[in-house]
Structure 1
Amino acid sequence: MKRTQTSDGSTDPGEDGAPGAGGSRLVGSDRVLAVLKELARYPDGAGLEELTRAIGSPKPTVHRALGALRRAGLADQDARGRYGLGDEFLRMAFAHHEARPDHVRIRPVLEALAHRFGETVHYAVLDGREVVYRAKVDPPTGAVRLTSTIGGRNPAHTTAVGKLLLTRRLGSLEEVEAWIGGSLLERRTPRTLCGAADLHRELSATRARGYGVDDQENETGVNCLALPAYLTSPTTPSGAVSISALAYRTPLAALVDALDEIRALLGPLGEPPS
């Protein structure tokens, strides 16, 4: 493996890569992408030393990856020497997001729901064991709003959208047990359902009623109600729409009582297949 001595006295492992955080070996483009993903965690920027520790690669390796990202416009360096995501990266990300067919189609529905209920509304999809928020609309008024972000993730078993979408994948207790596997499900609040039997019962109830609920299971003080959204298929939900409400302001029971109105606002995008 080729190694070179750098000006700061450290050894550069060369193009064969170096062990990253967790012992994985970062090579070539993987190394650059790892640095890019790490940068996204620092809205106020991060120094080279900070990134080096987080990535777990030698300083020259991280510095070279940052150079490649800067040349592509995907990273910037400010006057203090701190690195952050570049304007070109943000332009591409937001342009891609705005052009997503599902985002364009669902946005008016989210706006109508947020305006009607005065709470934050999301559109999310299932990605393995997590849900990913593809769109979000905050209420037009109200001093308290949720801190969720587009592209953010939450465990599927703690959220209304996640449990609703899991009903199509996990039909039996054995399937729930296999999905959990040998790992422990994260407990976000005292109300989080972490056991296979409890989660199976909840999924069965969700399947029977046709909507998902999160009764302060993901975040204390926040409850959610979710309904499926059919944006790309007439038979399989592409994702789910959820109203995420502050429990003291909009109790879960109030959302359940408004189901017919919520379904009416979803319109054809929320209609189950005939």
Structure 2
Amino acid sequence: MIDSSPETARGEDRLVGSDRVLVVLRVLAEHPEGIGLEEMAKAVGSPKPTAHRALAALRRAGFASQDGRGRYVLGDDFLRLAFAHHEARPDHVRIRPALVRLAARFGETAHYAVLDGREVVYRAKVDPPSGAVRLTSTVGGRNPAHNTGVGKLLLAWALPDDAAVTAWVDQAPLERRTPRTKVSAGELAEELAAVRERGYAVDDQENEEGVTCLAVPAFLTSSTRPSGAVSVSALAYRTPLPSLVEAVPEIHAILREP
């Protein structure tokens, strides 16, 4: 029984009941449009009275409610708890599951980085599965923003036009890490304009010879401004940059996965 009292229910019955309530909660989450009692009973493989008792327990806790049609939906209290918990988690913790998926999919290193002045700081890193050559980047490490994919992605938002780019470049000379590094205001302005138009940034061996990178925005705290950038950084001989560019829609899809 789901709502057996401690005095009359055996320990294993309480465990089964708790499990059933959690299954009902999961089914509710899978039906944002609402679900009827009969549908719920079928979904959890229980008689309607049993499913109803589980829903009643969730309603008492504020974790379920009924809409105007009598269908069951997640309760506002549950949503408030979920969103409050999600917002309280550090951004690098929230993004890590996506980085794990990206590293596994491409067999390359995935990063999450934020902009700090003229540099990017790596907040999270997931290496590819064992056996692959790994990059030397470290969590907490820094790189100049202008020669990295994550940096250029975030600069494109921070410097909205050519005038802003020129003023930023004039503040200090840009380091040339490789022969491909863009160090003039004109080159960087052209690059950032392209980033704004296509929605992603690339590092074509501009920070380190032999290493390419593709970066996309991560909207963890706002739907209009990225909190940071996610990148797939690869050895150029193993994963050429054009193959990463072709995979941009897939990268976005992986980031959207729950």
TM-score (norm 1): 0.60
1:172 aligns with 2:149: no
Distance of 1:268 and 1:199 partners within structure 2: 33
The aligned counterpart of 2:121 is 132
Distance of 1:123 and 1:117 partners within structure 2: 16
Identity across the alignment (%) = 70
Distance of 2:90 and 2:132 partners within structure 1: 31
The aligned counterpart of 1:206 is 195
1:188 aligns with 2:177: yes
- Partners of 1:118 and 1:141 within 8 A in 2: no
Tell me, what secondary structure is at the counterpart of 2:157?
A: coil
1:267 aligns with 2:251: no
Q: Which runs of 5+ in 1 are unaligned?
A: 1-98, 270-274
1:1-274 alignment to 2 at 5 Å?
Answer: 101-267=90-256
CA RMSD of aligned residues (A): 1.4
CA offset at residue 172 of structure 1? Answer: 2.3
- 1:188-240 Cα shifts (integer Å, max 9, x gaps): 00000000000000000010000010000000000000000011112110000
Q: Pick closer, same or farther for the CA change 1:100–1:155 going to 2, 3 Å.
A: farther
CA offset at residue 168 of structure 1? Answer: 1.3
Tell me, what secondary structure is at the counterpart of 1:218?
A: coil
- Partners of 1:120 and 1:138 within 8 A in 2: yes
Tell me, what secondary structure is at the counterpart of 1:146?
A: coil
Distance of 1:170 and 1:152 partners within structure 2: 23
Distance of 2:205 and 2:141 partners within structure 1: 18
Q: Which runs of 5+ in 2 are unaligned?
A: 1-87
CA offset at residue 180 of structure 1? Answer: 1.4
Aligned residues: 171
Q: Which amino acid aligns with 2:126?
A: V
Q: Which amino acid aligns with 1:225?
A: L
The aligned counterpart of 2:60 is none
